[in-house]
């Protein structure tokens, strides 16, 4: 299952299906199912090269986990209500597959690998329009969540517990957060400059505006491209294998 977006094989579904609210992430408000005013007739964004400068950092960080091209392959290119719903379903399920793939790649989590593999098969077997119509992402999430939690515990062992913590704006620069549970933590605007975040759990953590300059995130669990894209960092930030420095982190990248 390809969990990397292929925009050329999509029809701009991410610019239509989600609702947007004017905020620091988006410069406009639009309801779900309505195309963004910047979506061109060829399904490309007319301000793609200047999204951050135009007030759309949320679009830069957004990742469909490959749900866009899979939706088109299963339901066709028309942006019908059925297709838009199918996209929203697949977006949630593909994100879940991202976490499952992470856990399956951890040898220490072997005791839950069989159960995770079974759950992955149930999701990847949704290969028809009818199957998507009846799919329940919440039910899949409820079944997978305890397995991901168990995998995290097996991999991390004992570490600082900050699960769901309010760390908004906190100065955590240089902190030793190895093997920390930061799942669902609020880290908006927090300084994690030079922090040791090796093998920390970031499942559902909010990293918008967090400063990861010089931080070491080697082997961090459940980290996504969206989380990285919404944070700040630079070439000195060490990311887990498979994740790359966003363009805007690098000199001249905007």
pLDDT band for 82, please (50, 70, 90 cuts). very high
Average pLDDT, the chain: 95
pLDDT digits (tens, 9 = 90+) for 6-28: 999 999 999 999 999 999 999 99
Element (H, E) at 67: helix 67-75
Distance CA 197, CA 12 (A): 35
pLDDT digits (tens, 9 = 90+) for 37-60: 999 999 999 999 999 999 999 999
Which pLDDT does position 216 carry in this prediction?
Answer: 98
Task: Pick the closest to residue 10 from 81, 84, 82, 60 (CA basis).
Answer: 84
pTM of the shown model: 0.95
Is residue 74 within 8 Å of residue 128, measured between CB atoms? yes
CB atoms closer than 10 angstroms to residue 170:
19
Distance CA 176, CA 198 (A): 9
Which pLDDT does position 167 carry in this prediction?
Answer: 98
């Amino acid at each position: 299952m390809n969990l990397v977006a292929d925009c050329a094989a999509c029809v701009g579904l991410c610019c239509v299906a989600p609702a947007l609210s004017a905020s620091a992430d988006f410069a406009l408000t639009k309801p779900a199912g309505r195309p963004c005013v910047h979506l061109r007739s060829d399904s490309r964004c007319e301000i793609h090269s200047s999204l951050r400068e135009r007030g759309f950092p949320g679009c830069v960080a957004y990742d469909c986990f490959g749900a866009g091209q899979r939706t088109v392959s299963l339901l066709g290119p028309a942006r019908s209500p059925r297709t838009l719903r199918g996209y929203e379903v697949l977006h949630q399920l593909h994100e879940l597959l991202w976490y499952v793939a992470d856990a399956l790649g951890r040898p220490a989590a072997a005791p839950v690998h069989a159960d995770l593999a079974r759950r992955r098969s149930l999701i990847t077997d949704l290969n028809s329009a009818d199957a998507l119509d009846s799919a329940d992402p919440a039910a899949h999430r409820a079944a997978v969540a305890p397995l991901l939690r168990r995998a995290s515990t097996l991999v991390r062992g004992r570490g600082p517990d900050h699960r769901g913590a309010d760390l908004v704006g906190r100065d955590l620069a240089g902190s030793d957060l190895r093997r920390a549970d930061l799942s669902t933590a609020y880290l908006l605007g927090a300084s994690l400059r030079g922090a040791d975040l090796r093998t920390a759990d970031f499942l559902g953590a909010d990293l918008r505006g967090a400063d990861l300059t010089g931080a070491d995130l080697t082997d961090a669990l459940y980290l996504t491209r969206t989380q990285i894209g919404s944070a700040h960092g630079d070439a000195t930030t060490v990311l887990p294998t498979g994740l790359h420095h966003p363009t805007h982190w690098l000199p001249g990248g905007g």
